[in-house]
Structure 1
């Protein structure tokens, strides 16, 4: 977090650099100072010690900062610049500077290894790394979002903090389902009960538009609700009731989703005093917490949430947060739902945040409902990259709308002549279908590229099928491996493990060079790089050479 001494130090550093004609990486030095202040109780430049640099670069950075190992030299160089600055401005003496430089010399070769060691990652960093966020540690707050919008209008450089980085596309539930869910949120149900109680009793408000103390006490006793004054403010902000001076009027026909959107805005923007999460300080950071869940788009383990609260939102320094109690409050408020040791946003909360981001002009995007798409769009959508849970729901919903025969026909027709990755997706889905799809699949035995897959599908179900030639078997092997190319490039270790368990043997690989397949060379080169069996890897490299030579010839 930015603090005054860091701002002054960076201003002085820049002036020092200009005066001496030095190339100063002020942003990197600021990061060092920020982390030293946040986590190591460094409150001024003179507090830096050799141990500070060791803890920062070998513990804090690997645990907290999303940075590739190759960035380590830049960070160490910035630390050396900081040492030079400390010495020349007499914040430290010559002996201390020498000890710091010796420490940095020792750290330099160790830091890339530490940054690459995923076992050192903090839980929140691990989650953001999986999402691809560029910077985890900068403040995520409503002002940041608003400033980002203003900066965009003014043509300024965009902020690179997580709160301003591009939002991931999300799948929104239907308005009908959301409206029904909004009517069942316990928080809003209690607010409605309070409104009806006030109207039924003909009660009036205090001059400020709030509950009178006597009414608040009576409501708490009669309705068994906590914090009636907060509930009343929520009801007013959400449009559940109309107020004119001290008079109260029924707000008929309030749209449940408009009410919910206003309630979400109040929860993250209003002065809620701890009535949302049960923790006043956490209420102030609620936007950051919900924004994290929105960007992760998956159930988050409770340990990850606890670490995020303690470390990234500094709750540990403020006495800690009772996560179980916080979770219960957020479930009551309709914002989170609990799983087996996990928490995630409710569909209502996803929708409410999406609306809020639109108000902030942060350009949130939606994933189309692939269950309603045709086969080609379903395949394209799955290839565009969706979470496994979302993909599974899309496929299940898509198949539920068709008979097995219709599904097989539509999928296979959509990929006739298509690239291997698209064909692989279609074949994988068709493989879920039972024998009811036999005639539809059999019709594609005449398609040169789909014939091997159709024959294999029939054989696997004990149905009559033509025997595949050796060339067709080899072609299908290459075709299915081509499907794995994108994932293998992103996660070569997992691909290598899979190949070690079920990859083709050397004698099959040796013959693959003869296959007429557009992805043949890429497949063989991938096998040559990935196979743990050295003989099989060598066979793949030789086959790739032969395939390239044949193509040239």
Structure 2
């Protein structure tokens, strides 16, 4: 799958393999492929490439429950047969090529058909992924009536004249699915609802540095939208997406001078208008399938729960790059099944460090400890004198009303303040909430900026510079800038 190697995506939450396998087994196209694999027998005949001969298609359609008068039956049967062959549900013996006879090859149920009922969930999902590859390949081929006519006439196909590049088409669809995946898993993204087709088309067509798309670009968005409409119609039966096609009435509105999809791509249309242009959402099975393809392409696409058997150091390093919600879900799974006192001690040990990632590791550690009960207290008390963890420990104990919590000295208060702001900057950047946090942390300390620049924390100057930019009190912001200069000028 086309993707940026070594790119790291937000983590995805997936159902269990067993649940995903059940979804795969009821996907309409997969069901049809299984039925045809069971239907195949001694009398089944195939052409070169393993395709059913034309005379067999009515029987295959009947096996799928289609009436003889249903023109769609043979088409769907042909598609399901390709899936059955490509996944190994059917074994074909192709006819000999070159003798000019009308003899055809044969087909029988394949060994992998037994996996449908007797295989492990992972084996079923492997079959489904193979089916997905076939469907994606089919969806990348445009509907070219001229191509069929040329083939029937025995003419040579000029792909340049058709303006169809198979690799380019496959890369386009891969890019669309990658963008849809990112929109689905991103925090504050489209995970709670479907994505409008024009928005998805615009993500592939409009350059990021183009503030106002031209009419020509918007026309390209409209063309891409219609292309995607056809492709998602093909992808829905394999269970990859839930799809609401473009309203057919829109297709008849060909007299509009302005590309209609442009207003939707730019967010100018209301909900009812948006839905008319098509809506698409990846299913859980679809998320699994696109993630599998991304991993194969070298993209770092984590899934919540895959760190459950790793150490606390790997856990905190990984979730430091997660959103707060995803980090909490991963931490909860990591804690499940572990003895809490030992797990808390391991988390605290992993949170130490004067490196750039240290503040955010400690923030995630604090997040991990937040739901912990009284069993965690001995391990947390054990770090009260630790210069990096003592403040964190005092906060945890104080929030639970624990007695005998020693008051922190001034050095620890200032160090914890710098560490907390550094962690928030690393997690979310300069958010609207950050000035309020800064004001809260500095309001109760007279002469705060006269002392904080001396704090032996690697992020002291960086934090003070941020406070100088966003502190809501102008006088305090000015003092922060002066303190940042002192911190930068201090001898190492």
- Whether TM-score is above 0.5 comes out as yes
1:332-382 deviation per Cα after TM superposition (whole angstroms, max 9, x unaligned): 4122368xx9855456545545665687xx434454822221111111222
Of 417, 426, 430, the match for 2:369 = 430
Give the distance between the partners of 1:543 and 1:350, measured in 2 at CA: 49
Q: CA deviation at 1:523?
A: 1.8
Of 233, 236, 241, the match for 2:85 = 236
CA 348–240 in structure 1, closer or farther in 2 if over 3 Å, else same: same
Contact 1:416 1:447 in 2 (8 A): no
Alignment of 1:465-544 (within 5 A): 465-487=405-427, 491-494=429-432, 496-499=434-437, 502=440, 504-505=442-443, 507=446, 509-510=448-449, 511-544=451-484
Q: CA deviation at 1:315?
A: 6.4
Alignment of 1:188-203 (within 5 A): 188-199=30-41, 203=43
Alignment partner, residue 404 of structure 1: 340
Q: CA deviation at 1:528?
A: 1.2
CA 196–437 in structure 1, closer or farther in 2 if over 3 Å, else same: same
Q: CA deviation at 1:286?
A: 3.6
Q: CA deviation at 1:260?
A: 2.3
Count of residue pairs brought into register by the alignment: 378
Alignment of 1:148-547 (within 5 A): 163=2, 165-166=4-5, 168-169=7-8, 181-199=23-41, 203-205=43-45, 207=47, 209-210=51-52, 212-221=56-65, 227-244=76-93, 245-254=104-113, 255-270=123-138, 286-294=173-181, 296=183, 297-298=185-186, 300=190, 302-309=194-201, 312=204, 314=220, 316-317=222-223, 320=226, 330-336=235-241, 345-346=282-283, 348-349=285-286, 352-353=289-290, 362-365=297-300, 367=302, 369-383=306-320, 385-386=321-322, 390-419=326-355, 420-421=358-359, 422-464=361-403, 465-487=405-427, 491-494=429-432, 496-499=434-437, 502=440, 504-505=442-443, 507=446, 509-510=448-449, 511-547=451-487
Contact 2:88 2:111 in 1 (8 A): no
Instruction: Indicate the larger mover: 397-406 or 234-243.
Output: 397-406
Q: CA deviation at 1:501?
A: 7.1
Question: Structure 1: any 5+ residue segments left out of the alignment?
Answer: 1-144, 146-162, 276-280
CA 327–532 in structure 1, closer or farther in 2 if over 3 Å, else same: farther
- The structure with higher relative contact order (CA 8 Å, sep 6+) is 2
CA 386–250 in structure 1, closer or farther in 2 if over 3 Å, else same: same
**2:108 match: secondary structure:** strand
**1:484 match: secondary structure:** helix
Question: Structure 2: any 5+ residue segments left out of the alignment?
Answer: 94-103, 114-122, 144-163, 206-219, 244-274
Give the distance between the partners of 1:529 and 1:272, measured in 2 at CA: 50
1:478-525 deviation per Cα after TM superposition (whole angstroms, max 9, x unaligned): 22122234346xx43546555477453274633423544343232222
Give the distance between the partners of 1:236 and 1:291, measured in 2 at CA: 27
Q: CA deviation at 1:318?
A: 7.7
The TM-score, its normalising length taken from structure 1, stands at 0.57
Give the distance between the partners of 1:182 and 1:268, measured in 2 at CA: 16
**2:348 match: secondary structure:** helix
RMSD: 4.2
CA 308–382 in structure 1, closer or farther in 2 if over 3 Å, else same: same
Give the distance between the partners of 2:430 and 2:224, measured in 1 at CA: 43
The TM-score, its normalising length taken from structure 2, stands at 0.63
